[in-house]
């Protein structure tokens, strides 16, 4: 048999195996329709426009039929939108919190960049005469007026409203002042946008996230810390409804009906004193790293940590995050050691140890150098740090950290392997074994953006972020055993290139796969 025929038959064999294996892949848990819903606003067409930072799109929702009828995504120039607002002409603008860009569509088609006040631009609103205002929250604290046409530079109004957050979800008041919540200060304030004069309007909230005025001029507040919608009337806070934790924003339609969004669940709900109606369902919203604990598949879902029963797919528990307030944090990776979970967050630059029965954080490491994933190793924790391209060992006893191995371009997933570690280097397309003394050995190269990795028997499994292919590596044979949609690209150079890497894990002869873009959990019988 000549070499050409041999290699042709070998390729045919591998491809045939791939098709056969792929038929074993199934959807195990379905999630939300939007990858976490942030700012929402009703347009002049009566549709609800819903921004999603991680989904990097704006979804147009018909709240009557409960359907998404259109999406504006990266292909249209929408990058990581956090909030959305309309001017009187029907043009809508949005803020990109991770890039600092403020942009809009004129006549629904032509993109115009109003300006870039800096990362952290979060809420956005227009005055009655179409002046455009944005504020920073979580990464800075400025309040600005922008030229919608992008000709004049952003005008700073205030930069001392509060530490780490100027204002969040804002609205223009009937008295000609700009209203907004102070996320970390439990109060609602108003601003004279010409003089910068600041006035407290209401207090006594838990974590106020957004405000809106109804047609009667009444102030409606979303308190995400309390999970409530509240009306401020005659100086008193009156509860309209308790909804849930993990809420982001609210919007009122022409009938003064109240709608709220959830960043942790990706859901939209219609809220009244008597009922809560689901408009879009929630669930898995930003599936990242996954792990197994107590027979459950635990998911780092960015603004929550969820677990699903590995037998029937039912939700076992769900701990929701209030951004920069809750101890749990915004996590993108997860792993198991003993009866605890290791939570990793490049968003917060933290690593935490959580007790899954209660959600209690029992240990934490803070101010790390862009941690992407972690695993228990020896007496400490091995952490993949994107900031310096290393695998670094940390302890909770206060002793100094130690670089075990460096020189990675984009270390993404680190897991225990034999007596050492296995690391996926997304940038170099490699799987690298690290011995306990730090010696590096490249086991596999030539991969396309390897992210999540798992091991069972002699097989190594890997998820490729750019292709969405799940591959099994057995000796020198690489077989595609499944496909999901490619993961979301990073929105700027400030994030790891994996953004939210698709985790994989083996359990009871199944390979579980986090479908970040599908907002689902898949599995393949091995």
Is 5 buried (19+), middle (13-18) or exposed (0-12) by CB count in 10 A?
Answer: exposed
SS3 category, 273? coil
Q: Which of 309, 310, 305 is nearest to 286 (CA)?
A: 305
d(CA 167, CA 296): 39
Phi-psi region of 338 (alpha: psi -120 to 50; beta: other; left: phi over 0): left
Looking at the chain, the domain(s) classified CATH 2.120.10.30 span: 40-280, 286-525
Q: Which residue has the tokens 């959600």?
A: 359
How high is the pLDDT of residue 22?
Answer: 53
Q: Which of 41, 34, 62, 436 is nearest to 252 (CA)?
A: 41
How high is the pLDDT of residue 501?
Answer: 86
How high is the pLDDT of residue 23?
Answer: 57
Half-sphere exposure of residue 96, counting CA atoms within 13 Å on the CB side? Answer: 23
Lookup: tokens for 385: 């740090």
Q: How far is CA 104 from CA 93, 111, 262, 423, in A?
A: 4, 6, 23, 41
Q: Which residues contact 378 (CB under 8 A, 6 or more apart)?
A: 393, 436
According to CATH, the topology of domain 40-280 is Neuraminidase (2.120.10)
Q: Which residue has the tokens 């240990």?
A: 363
How high is the pLDDT of residue 11?
Answer: 38
Predicted confidence (pLDDT) per residue in 314-345, tens digit: 999 999 999 999 999 999 999 998 999 999 99
E strand spans, 117-271: 121-126, 132-136, 143-146, 155-158, 171-172, 178-182, 187-191, 198-203, 208-213, 219-223, 228-233, 236-242, 247-252, 258-262, 268-271
How high is the pLDDT of residue 453?
Answer: 99
SS3 category, 259? strand
How high is the pLDDT of residue 2?
Answer: 44
SS3 category, 22? helix
Flag residues of the chain having pLDDT under 70. Answer: 1-23
Q: Which of 87, 112, 89 is nearest to 102 (CA)?
A: 112
Give the max Cα distance, the chain: 90
d(CA 182, CA 166): 7
DSSP string, 49-104: EEEETTTTEEEEEETTTTEEEEEE-GGGT--SEEEEEE-TTS-EEEEETTT--EEE
Residue range 286-525 forms a domain whose CATH class is mainly beta
């Amino acid at each position: 048999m000549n070499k050409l025929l041999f290699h042709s038959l070998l390729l045919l064999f591998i491809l045939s195996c791939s098709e056969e294996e792929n038929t074993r892949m199934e959807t195990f848990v379905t999630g939300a329709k939007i990858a976490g819903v942030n700012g929402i606003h009703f347009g002049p067409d009566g549709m609800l426009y819903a921004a999603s930072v991680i989904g990097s799109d704006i979804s147009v929702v018909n709240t009557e039929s409960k359907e998404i009828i259109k999406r504006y995504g990266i292909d249209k120039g929408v990058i990581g939108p956090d909030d959305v607002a309309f001017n009187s002409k029907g043009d809508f603008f949005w803020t990109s919190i991770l890039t600092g860009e403020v942009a809009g569509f004129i006549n629904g088609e032509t993109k115009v960049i109003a300006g870039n006040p800096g990362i952290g631009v979060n809420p956005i609103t227009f005055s009655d005469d179409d002046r455009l205002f944005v504020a920073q929250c979580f990464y800075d604290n400025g309040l600005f007026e922008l030229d919608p046409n992008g000709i004049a530079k952003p005008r700073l109004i205030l930069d001392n409203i509060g530490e780490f957050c100027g204002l969040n979800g804002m609205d223009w008041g009937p008295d000609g002042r700009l209203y907004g919540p102070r996320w970390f200060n439990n109060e609602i304030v108003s601003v004279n946008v010409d003089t910068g004069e600041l006035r407290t309007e209401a207090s006594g909230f838990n974590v106020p996230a957004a405000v809106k005025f109804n047609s009667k001029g009444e102030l409606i507040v979303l308190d995400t810390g309390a999970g409530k919608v509240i009306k401020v009337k005659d100086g008193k806070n009156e509860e309209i409804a308790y909804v849930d934790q993990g809420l982001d924003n609210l919007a009122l339609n022409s009938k003064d009906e109240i709608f709220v969004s959830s960043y942790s669940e990706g859901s939209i709900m219609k809220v009244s004193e008597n009922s809560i109606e689901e408009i879009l369902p929630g669930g898995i919203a930003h599936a990242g790293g996954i792990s197994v604990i107590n027979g459950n598949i635990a998911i780092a879902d960015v603004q929550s940590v969820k677990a699903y029963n590995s037998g029937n797919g039912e939700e076992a528990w769900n701990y929701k995050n209030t951004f920069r307030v809750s101890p749990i944090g915004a996590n993108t990776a997860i792993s198991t050691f003993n009866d605890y979970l290791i939570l990793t967050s490049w968003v917060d630059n933290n690593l935490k140890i959580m007790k899954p029965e209660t959600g209690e954080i029992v240990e934490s490491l803070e101010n790390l150098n862009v941690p992407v994933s972690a695993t228990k190793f020896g007496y400490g924790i091995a952490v993949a740090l994107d900031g310096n391209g290393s695998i670094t060992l940390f302890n909770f006893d206060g002793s100094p950290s130690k670089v075990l191995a460096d020189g990675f371009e984009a270390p993404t997933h680190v897991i225990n392997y034999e007596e050492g570690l296995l690391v996926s280097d997304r940038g170099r397309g490699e799987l690298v074994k690290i011995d306990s003394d730090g010696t590096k050995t490249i086991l596999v190269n030539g991969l396309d953006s390897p992210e999540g990795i798992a091991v069972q028997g002699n097989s190594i499994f890997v998820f490729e972020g750019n292709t969405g292919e799940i591959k099994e590596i057995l000796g020198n044979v690489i077989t595609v055993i499944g496909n999901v949609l490619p993961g979301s690209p990073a929105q700027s150079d400030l994030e790891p290139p994996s953004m939210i890497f698709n985790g994989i894990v083996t359990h009871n002869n199944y390979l579980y796969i986090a479908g970040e873009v599908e907002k689902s959990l898949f599995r393949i019988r091995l």
